[in-house]
Amino acid sequence: MIRHWSVPIVGTFVLGATLVSCAATTPDQTEAAPTESPSSSVTADAAPTAVAPAAPASSEIAQVTSAQPVIVVEGLEHPWGMAWLPDGTLIVTERPGRVRLIRDGQLDPTPLSGVPPVLASGQGGLLDVSVHPQFAENPWVYFTYAHGDRAMNQTRVARARFDGTALADWTVIFEVNRTKEGSQHFGSRMTWLPDNTLLISIGDGGNPPVQLEGELIRNQAQKLDSHLGKVVRLNADGSVPADNPFVDTPDANPAVWSYGHRNIQGMMFDPVTNQLWASEHGSRGGDELNRVTAGENYGWPLVTHSREYTGGEISSEQSRPGMIDPLVVWTPAIAPSGLLVYRGDRFPQWQGDVFAGGLVSGDIRHIEVDEAGAVINQTPIAIGQRVRDVRQGPDGLIYVLTDEPNGRLIRLEPG
């Protein structure tokens, strides 16, 4: 069953901001053209709004909990992704192309050296970061980024060795096998599977009128020989695992793991349930939360709840046999980015719940999931700025990056 939330259940303050944002939505605004986005309702100097104590949307859950947002660090320029090293150091990417370190709550003023130039334009730039699961033996840090220029570009994955001081041996291990124009829909999140293979989300290449091979580039999401609009799976060195779902399919690219995605910017594998969760931007409305399985088709652009930014229909169909329906549809769009399945001990009542950040909504959607994996409720946690990433820290607290010129690292603590 698909859960629809047509109106965010949230304090009037943030609700107002959401509605204004959606009314002003244009393609780049929903996702990642922060300088053009509606300004946040909270000034840079103000503390984040307190999290609304649980006011469940339905009576199905009697949740008694709250969380208090605390600003850890300010002064990050459009931070995009974050990952912790085993020693507790937090690595943060900034979209213009910098890698920053935060130790003991202090931002190192000097960005790391060893990062090549990236295409920092529109939604492009230095994007996600991830640390090898066995970092002590494999001291690699992984990055996704936009490479090229505005006329011809693609998403890349690189890894670099990190010795605690500098990045070295920056090595491109994957490059999308289509080039595109413009600065939309690069994806890209990374998450590891228990076998130490790496999943990466790749966007569909862009909105109309962007074309490729004589048709809208978004159609690439249904083409198994193209990396656009896919989740791909790689070994840690960038080679293709022999057990990927399409390795024996004629004309399919063997890296493809799932397809029919528009632009996934939130993705996490939950090792407790062995399920992959992903949040995906729709066009106008129709953002999705999916549980993604190897080899499956998630429909874009053949089936969708979203419409063109211009208001026209993308598809008359919202579901089709053989394609997987989303578990949650967000209309109007929240512009989802950053996703966490909570497995810490500081919010015991939130075990296994999903937390999806929203750029346009300026909040985190706390999605309650029952033991069978069904979505049963959704409540917002107001942040008051564009939420780019949501992760669990090694201390069991929830960490948030905000996509602002003076972006923040925020920590949610039990309130």
Look up residue 139 and give its two tokens: 């001291």
* For Ca ion, the closer CB: 99 or 303: 303
User: Should residue 299 be labelled a site residue for Ca ion when binding is judged by CB under 5 A?
Assistant: yes
User: Should residue 246 be labelled a site residue for Ca ion when binding is judged by CB under 5 A?
Assistant: no
Q: 263 and 280 in contact (C-beta within 8 Å)?
A: yes
Buried b (16+ CB within 10 A) or exposed e, 354-375: bbbbbbbbbbbbbbbbeeeeeb
H/E run at residue 14? helix 12-23
Stretch that binds Ca ion, among 31-39, 107-115, 295-303, 363-371 (CB under 5 A): 295-303
Is 185 a catalytic site residue?
yes
Q: Which residue is nearest to Ca ion (CB)?
A: 299
C-alpha 271, offset from chain centre: 18
Paired residues of 409 in beta bridges? 73, 401
Look up residue 371 and give its two tokens: 């033991």
Stretch that binds Ca ion, among 36-44, 80-88, 293-301, 357-365 (CB under 5 A): 293-301
In 10 A of CB 86, how many CB atoms? 11
Three-class DSSP category at 2: coil
Task: Measure the CA–CA gap between 289 and 281, rounded to whole angstroms.
Answer: 9
Stretch that binds Ca ion, among 79-87, 113-121, 292-300, 341-349 (CB under 5 A): 292-300
Contact pattern from residue 251 through residue 280 relative to Ca ion, giving x for each residue in contact according to CB under 5 A and a dash for the rest? ------------------------------
Min. distance of Cβ 229 from Ca ion in angstroms? 10
Min. distance of Cβ 354 from Ca ion in angstroms? 17
DSSP 8-state symbol, 98 = E
* For Ca ion, the closer CB: 327 or 398: 327
Size of the site for Ca ion (CB under 5 A): 2
Stretch that binds Ca ion, among 9-17, 108-116, 199-207, 298-306 (CB under 5 A): 298-306
Which residue among 174, 186, 257, 298 contacts Ca ion (CB under 5 A)?
A: 298
* For Ca ion, the closer CB: 69 or 299: 299
Range 161-166, long-range pairs (CB < 8 A, 24+ positions) = 162/85, 162/91, 162/112, 163/139, 164/87, 164/89, 166/112, 166/113, 166/114
* For Ca ion, the closer CB: 299 or 407: 299
Min. distance of Cβ 370 from Ca ion in angstroms? 22
Min. distance of Cβ 2 from Ca ion in angstroms? 10
Task: Measure the CA–CA gap between 88 and 107, rounded to whole angstroms.
Answer: 13
Min. distance of Cβ 299 from Ca ion in angstroms? 4
Min. distance of Cβ 288 from Ca ion in angstroms? 5
In 10 A of CB 57, how many CB atoms? 18
Kindly name the residue from 78, 132, 147, 185 that is annotated as catalytic.
185
Stretch that binds Ca ion, among 178-186, 228-236, 297-305, 350-358 (CB under 5 A): 297-305
Q: Across 85-177, where does the E strand assignment appear? A: 90-94, 98-103, 106-107, 126-131, 140-149, 152-162, 167-175
* For Ca ion, the closer CB: 373 or 394: 373
Min. distance of Cβ 34 from Ca ion in angstroms? 25
* For Ca ion, the closer CB: 10 or 292: 292
* For Ca ion, the closer CB: 90 or 292: 292
Alpha helices in 135-243 (DSSP H): none
Return the CA Rg of the chain.
19
Instruction: Provide the annotated active-site residues.
Output: 185
Q: Which residues bind Ca ion (CB under 5 A)?
A: 298-299
